[in-house]
Structure 1
Amino acid sequence: IAEMLAQMRYIPNWYYYYGGLADKIEGAVIPLDKRGYLNYTRYEPLGVVAIITPWNSPLMLTTWKLAPALAAGNTVVIKPSEFTSASVLEFVKLIEEAGAPPGLVNVVTGFGSEVGTPLVEHPKVAKVAFTGSDATGKKIYASAAQTMKHVTMELGGKSPNIVFADANIDDAVNGAISGIFAATGQTCLAGSRLLVEDAIHDDFLQRLTEKALTARMGDPSSMETQVGPITTQPQYNKVLDYIAIAKSEGATLVAGGGPGRAPECGDGWFVEPTIFKDVDNGMRIAQEEVFGPVLSVLRFKNEEEAVRIGNETIYGLAAGVWTSDVGRAIRMTESLRAGTVWVNTYRATSYMSPFGGYRQSGIGRENGAEMIKEYLQTKSVWMNFGAPSANPFVQR
């Protein structure tokens, strides 16, 4: 609840920000190389936008899409996760109370095969905005291509959180904890691969483990709880399966490694904050998205190796760098192939700053002023006000 309340208090900023952009969508008059013509551009709404969201942060991730889609003049059909539909349904009631015209914002609920697929395939849907797994994203992308729909996709990640020996260690420990154990690790931008320079590896790992073991698990409705349950039973089983896979691959378990058995966990789907060391970047635990409180710790010797390991994945959503060397920080941000790179912080987002991935972490961007164009199409208008008639068989 602490995590969700923080998001709820921040969400209104998106509507205020994009509401402010709604009357500032301006085309341009283009000075042409051809005499006798006026050329200008105008931005127009796409039409019907389908928004498909996952079960984590359902209102926040809906807002990231809904606010710019409406500001750009589109109508919207939202398909929330079948696991977390209630908050979106309640939110849409507020949109009606605010006086939105009927049909401007719509919600359809149900399973992906029964509702999501027909929505993506519908010929009157002009764009699909999706957040979720890369596997589902690929299916949506292929389906949307059949009718040449616009798409934006924010998909999975296996983000490297890289700690150099010259970093502020206390800050870096907190950043590593935030990167993987906040929201029970159920975030696409989770720093699930922690890369630590050899010179500080053992000391850093000890301090990290000690802090991780103090995380308070329990009732997710309590403001004191820091690590809540896994959201669904299939995901709970998946996380435990990945822990077993990591053990079988030869990774060394440092902390956690099983269901949460503390009395305050009751019969819930809790997984202990889990840390593995001696992880090779080729292991499945280092390459595949777990989406739970499971951290892989890898060693590196120098900048070049850190960059190589950081980039050796199919994903490219985010990365973190912890260092007191400004030159190194800049070099790392230039070399890491990720849509967001944090330096001496982690997991910071804003309605004012673009967010999205490289490679199989997605297509397009969310947030920021430029992002509203993801929900618009550009029309170029040519007007002849005096150009002489030309040869009709030659392009003007």
Structure 2
Amino acid sequence: MSQKELSAAPTEQAADKTAIDALVANAQQALAEFENLDQRTVDIIVETAARKAREAHAVLAAEAVTETKRGNFEDKTVKNIFASEVIAQDLEGQKTVGVISRDEFSGIVEVAEPVGVVAGLTPVTNPTSTTIFKALICLKTRNPIIFAFHPFAQNCSAHAAKIVYEAALEAGAPKGCVQWITAPSMQATTELINHPGVAVILATGGNAMVKSAYSCGKPALGVGAGNCPAYIHESAVVKNAVNDVTISKSFDNGMICAAEQAVILDEAIADQALAEFQSLGCYLANAEEKAKLEELLFGARAGSEECKSAKLNAAIVGQKASKIAEMAGFSVPEDTPAILVPCSEVSYDEPLTREKLSPILAVLRAKNAAEGIDLSRQMVEQDGLGHSAAIHCRKWEVIDKFATEVNAVRVIENSPSAFGAIGGLYNAMVPSLTLGCGSYGHNSVSNNISAVNLLNIKRLARRNPVMMPFQVPNQIYLGSGYIRQLANLELGNKITVITNQRAANSGQLDVVMQLLYARSNKISVQVIDDAERHFRTQYLEKKVREIAGYAPQTVIAVGERSVINAAKFLRLFAACPELSVKEVCAGHIALPAHINSPQLICVPTITGGRASVAPSAAITDVNTGFARPVKSTAFLPQIVVMDTSLAPYSRKDTLRRGFQGVACAIEAYTSTQASEYTDSLALHGLENVYKALSQVVSAAEESQELADQREKVIEGAFLISTAQGNTAMGLAGSLTKTLAAAFGGSNQKYFPAVLPNVVRFLGGRPRKLVASPNYLRFQAPQQLAEICRRLGIEAREEDAGAALAQALENLVSTFGVPLKVQDFEISEADFLEQLPELAQRTFDRESYSGTPRKATMAEIENMLKACYYGEEFVS
């Protein structure tokens, strides 16, 4: 096709700024019109354009060879067929217009939009095929493209673009959707890629051009240089491997950037492989011929000073092997597919181990797989970081090691590298003629570039609640005398009992042991009776060894919260000995969803009700000294036996622990993680405990009345514990734990001084709300009003917080316990000195809480002061 014919194209412009402005204006108009096309119309446009390009594949191949004087006709026809037919097949069915996906589970709807006007830069090595490819993926994504062709391939590239453009117009594409600079120059290309109306640069070509594209300050999809090794391992089918390398290296006279630049042969099969190469017509150069090739290709002999500044001779790119030999000063048969050149190492001192874009193939020998992989790594790192690498091998461990150690984003297994890298023929890689190299090759993408890279994906995200299942043990026994169930449960014949001296001295352990030994089957019992109150990883590591040697079928925890937490961890490590104690306790490892063996049975005594039913366990942090929770359903026991007779609290203990239950109920009910299940448990438990506490106040020590009301308190508190185990600790819990850690004692004793002010805080107007997908709106005042209604406290909704706080203060005033933190013999000076740290610790704990009103640092400090001095917190 003549230049005169090409000048009839719709974009005949002089290559100056005015012309570029006009091209971009046309493209912007096309972009606007593209918005009106639906997916079906776009697909017809692509199908029509691809078919017309496919029909012209031979004509375009001949023009490319004639104009560029590189490559060969037969292989360029294959490239054109790939760029039209294979690319179109890959694009078929892809959604690129409007809503392209709708995930009902995640609630994500994806909407595709064009990126905008694309500047397409094309190389001299694959001119027509790259033009067809880029035009098709732009049409598929409704992006107008303006081409800047390589000046040595202007006419054939323009013809390819014209064929695609005219076919697209016939099928309904807008005018100006495919354009090109008719008078190529560096100035014109620079104007194009820097034009503010150009959104994206799609660059395929030399390093300088790609680097220039990346420096324009806009998204650029470029490629990196290739220096692909092909490692043939001794386990490979040598005939197959040699055949693949020969096909790949000789294809279009070696101009595909993913073609092999060196073949690395294991010593055990090297001679066999070389003989096989020669049987396919490849020529093995001698030392003299090697030197001549070095001079021709790089102007530098191996080991010479010139190697440092050597550059590839462009005149040999894409030439036949026989012609290159002739240019170098020796001869090979006319039909020689490739010239093999033995080299001693991979380095710039061996210039033929660099990218050559011709049918010249370096040959290296490796003593073993380790050296073969290392030589491959060196090849890629020398000139082709991130591009491609090939391995021929039948051992998966070697292939995996190769893929891990060689920094190429395309690792081609048992295939011709040139065809394997471009995808769609030998493997499932995305078919493409623009191959990204990732950050290794200073590219923005590490995949084979295609339509997906030319789309802006808008995502519509549905609000999703966090899926929080209601998690409880399989069996819960709650009531006086229920400990007898231990005599009937399936426990196996090897049992580990974990407890502490407090449970042992109180007689609670004796009750459990008597029931175990009364069983009909013969059992063996291991007793670990030194569970520490604030145990750390060192304790667990020691006890893990003890329990592992015993291998129990059942673990029974008898005691308070710390005992139950220790048992949860020890049961986990007994079931999963491969887990690291330190990493599990730090929360760094995903744990199994459930553990069936050994089974865990929790028998909480003085405390531990919440710990026994919660899908979590706590351990003391070595650095802070505070308890760190680790959440997982793996910590849920199979069975919990809450026997109220094992907790013979005094009247004072009953009041204190009952009031803690009141606090936990309020926090569970108002939690951002609450559900219908937890609300029911929290409210019912709260009613029972609150009413029972008023009776406990007047009950005499060791009276039946106290025993009856104590049982109601314990049972109600256990319901509350189940609710809180499925929600989260709140601000009151955070404050009491912080105070207990700083000034000693259990956290229960601080609740009377803290809870009323926390309720006032919840009932006030929030200064800062909490972000939680399950919490639709701030409703704490309404919830506090509901609590007042349940407890018989008269209050309007707007005053519910104050009314409930006052009722709580009235209740605890009858307990005979300190009502302010100052009364726990904590000096004012000591308190004020620690106040900033106390506030910080509480704030840190609050990150795990479900408090619906976010407490600021200033609010926490003010609340701590109010609780210390016994004053009302002002919200």
Q: Tell me the TM-score range normalised by the shorter chain.
A: 0.7 to 0.9
Map Cα deviations across residues 5-50 of structure 1 (whole Å, 9 max, x no partner). Answer: 22233322323432532456636679999xxxx9865332111001
**2:256 is paired with a residue of what secondary structure?**
coil
Query: Following the alignment from structure 1 to structure 2, what is the Cα–Cα distance between the partners of residues 41 and 129?
Result: 24
Query: Following the alignment from structure 1 to structure 2, what is the Cα–Cα distance between the partners of residues 283 and 168?
Result: 31
Query: Following the alignment from structure 1 to structure 2, what is the Cα–Cα distance between the partners of residues 86 and 392?
Result: 66
Pick one of 311, 327, 335 that aligns with 2:377.
311
What residue in structure 2 maps to residue 294 of structure 1?
A: 360
Do the aligned partners of 1:239 and 1:292 also contact (CA within 8 Å) in 2?
Answer: no
Query: Following the alignment from structure 1 to structure 2, what is the Cα–Cα distance between the partners of residues 361 and 271?
Result: 36
**1:282 is paired with a residue of what secondary structure?**
coil
Residue 281 in 1 paired to residue 360 in 2?
A: no
What residue in structure 2 maps to residue 222 of structure 1?
A: none
Change (3 A) 1:183 1:279: farther
**2:397 is paired with a residue of what secondary structure?**
helix
Query: Following the alignment from structure 1 to structure 2, what is the Cα–Cα distance between the partners of residues 120 and 394?
Result: 47
Query: Following the alignment from structure 1 to structure 2, what is the Cα–Cα distance between the partners of residues 116 and 395?
Result: 50
What residue in structure 2 maps to residue 242 of structure 1?
A: 297
What residue in structure 2 maps to residue 259 of structure 1?
A: 326
What residue in structure 2 maps to residue 49 of structure 1?
A: 118
**Higher fraction of strand:** 1
What residue in structure 2 maps to residue 176 of structure 1?
A: 245
What residue in structure 2 maps to residue 340 of structure 1?
A: 410
Structure 2: unaligned runs, 5 residues or longer: 1-72, 285-292, 308-320, 464-765, 773-875
Change (3 A) 1:381 1:325: closer
Change (3 A) 1:12 1:40: closer
Pick one of 344, 348, 353 that aligns with 2:429.
353
Query: Following the alignment from structure 2 to structure 1, what is the Cα–Cα distance between the partners of residues 260 and 333?
Result: 27
**1:101 is paired with a residue of what secondary structure?**
coil
Change (3 A) 1:108 1:126: same
What's the CA shift for 1:90? 1.9
Aligned partner letter, 2:368: N
What residue in structure 1 maps to residue 393 of structure 2?
A: 323
What residue in structure 2 maps to residue 218 of structure 1?
A: none
Equivalent pairs, count: 353
Query: Following the alignment from structure 1 to structure 2, what is the Cα–Cα distance between the partners of residues 126 and 333?
Result: 35
Map Cα deviations across residues 85-138 of structure 1 (whole Å, 9 max, x no partner). Answer: 223322233234322321011011444512221111111110001111223312
What fraction of aligned residue pairs are identical, expressed as a percent? 19
Map Cα deviations across residues 266-286 of structure 1 (whole Å, 9 max, x no partner). Answer: xxxx99943221331113525
Q: Which moved more, 1:80-89 or 1:185-194?
A: 80-89
Query: Following the alignment from structure 1 to structure 2, what is the Cα–Cα distance between the partners of residues 124 and 55?
Result: 26
Do the aligned partners of 2:234 and 2:393 also contact (CA within 8 Å) in 1?
Answer: yes
What residue in structure 1 maps to residue 269 of structure 2?
A: 200
Q: Say what the alpha-carbon RMSD is for the aligned residues.
A: 3.9
Query: Following the alignment from structure 1 to structure 2, what is the Cα–Cα distance between the partners of residues 273 and 31?
Result: 55
**2:300 is paired with a residue of what secondary structure?**
helix
What residue in structure 2 maps to residue 117 of structure 1?
A: 190
Change (3 A) 1:163 1:12: same
Query: Following the alignment from structure 2 to structure 1, what is the Cα–Cα distance between the partners of residues 373 and 338?
Result: 27
Query: Following the alignment from structure 1 to structure 2, what is the Cα–Cα distance between the partners of residues 68 and 282?
Result: 38
Residue 84 in 1 paired to residue 150 in 2?
A: no
Structure 1: unaligned runs, 5 residues or longer: 216-237, 385-389
**2:340 is paired with a residue of what secondary structure?**
strand
Change (3 A) 1:212 1:137: farther
Query: Following the alignment from structure 1 to structure 2, what is the Cα–Cα distance between the partners of residues 81 and 205?
Result: 38
Query: Following the alignment from structure 1 to structure 2, what is the Cα–Cα distance between the partners of residues 20 and 195?
Result: 40
What residue in structure 2 maps to residue 188 of structure 1?
A: 257
What's the CA shift for 1:395? 10
Map Cα deviations across residues 162-184 of structure 1 (whole Å, 9 max, x no partner). Answer: 01122111112222222322211
Which of structures 1 and 2 has the larger relative contact order (alpha carbons within 8 angstroms, sep 6+)?
A: 1
What's the CA shift for 1:195? 1.0
What residue in structure 2 maps to residue 228 of structure 1?
A: none
What residue in structure 2 maps to residue 5 of structure 1?
A: 77
The TM-score, its normalising length taken from structure 1, stands at: 0.75
Query: Following the alignment from structure 2 to structure 1, what is the Cα–Cα distance between the partners of residues 132 and 240?
Result: 30
Do the aligned partners of 1:14 and 1:63 also contact (CA within 8 Å) in 2?
Answer: no
Aligned partner letter, 1:275: L
Change (3 A) 1:286 1:394: farther
Map Cα deviations across residues 196-235 of structure 1 (whole Å, 9 max, x no partner). Answer: 11222234234324534479xxxxxxxxxxxxxxxxxxxx
Change (3 A) 1:345 1:19: closer
Query: Following the alignment from structure 1 to structure 2, what is the Cα–Cα distance between the partners of residues 298 and 84?
Result: 35
Residue 130 in 1 paired to residue 197 in 2?
A: no
**Higher fraction of helix:** 2
Aligned partner letter, 2:325: G
Larger Rg: 2
Do the aligned partners of 1:286 and 1:296 also contact (CA within 8 Å) in 2?
Answer: yes
Query: Following the alignment from structure 2 to structure 1, what is the Cα–Cα distance between the partners of residues 157 and 260?
Result: 28
Do the aligned partners of 1:279 and 1:298 also contact (CA within 8 Å) in 2?
Answer: yes
Query: Following the alignment from structure 1 to structure 2, what is the Cα–Cα distance between the partners of residues 107 and 377?
Result: 24
Query: Following the alignment from structure 2 to structure 1, what is the Cα–Cα distance between the partners of residues 206 and 370?
Result: 30
Change (3 A) 1:132 1:291: same
Do the aligned partners of 1:258 and 1:272 also contact (CA within 8 Å) in 2?
Answer: no
Map Cα deviations across residues 242-291 of structure 1 (whole Å, 9 max, x no partner). Answer: 3552555599xxx97733577998xxxx9994322133111352553222
**2:153 is paired with a residue of what secondary structure?**
coil
The TM-score, its normalising length taken from structure 2, stands at: 0.36
Query: Following the alignment from structure 1 to structure 2, what is the Cα–Cα distance between the partners of residues 157 and 361?
Result: 13
Q: Which moved more, 1:344-353 or 1:76-85?
A: 344-353
**1:20 is paired with a residue of what secondary structure?**
coil
**1:245 is paired with a residue of what secondary structure?**
coil
Change (3 A) 1:207 1:111: same
Do the aligned partners of 1:271 and 1:293 also contact (CA within 8 Å) in 2?
Answer: no
Residue 105 in 1 paired to residue 172 in 2?
A: no
Change (3 A) 1:392 1:118: farther
What's the CA shift for 1:65? 2.5
Do the aligned partners of 2:262 and 2:364 also contact (CA within 8 Å) in 1?
Answer: yes
Map Cα deviations across residues 134-171 of structure 1 (whole Å, 9 max, x no partner). Answer: 233122211x22xxx21111231000100112211111
What residue in structure 2 maps to residue 375 of structure 1?
A: 454
Change (3 A) 1:190 1:391: farther
**2:134 is paired with a residue of what secondary structure?**
helix
Aligned partner letter, 1:113: M
What residue in structure 1 maps to residue 445 of structure 2?
A: 364
Q: Which moved more, 1:165-174 or 1:199-208?
A: 199-208
What's the CA shift for 1:83? 1.3
**1:306 is paired with a residue of what secondary structure?**
helix
Change (3 A) 1:105 1:249: same
Query: Following the alignment from structure 2 to structure 1, what is the Cα–Cα distance between the partners of residues 234 and 76?
Result: 34
What residue in structure 2 maps to residue 156 of structure 1?
A: 225
Do the aligned partners of 2:132 and 2:161 also contact (CA within 8 Å) in 1?
Answer: no
Map Cα deviations across residues 324-379 of structure 1 (whole Å, 9 max, x no partner). Answer: 223323332333221222211112233562343242274425658xx423112234
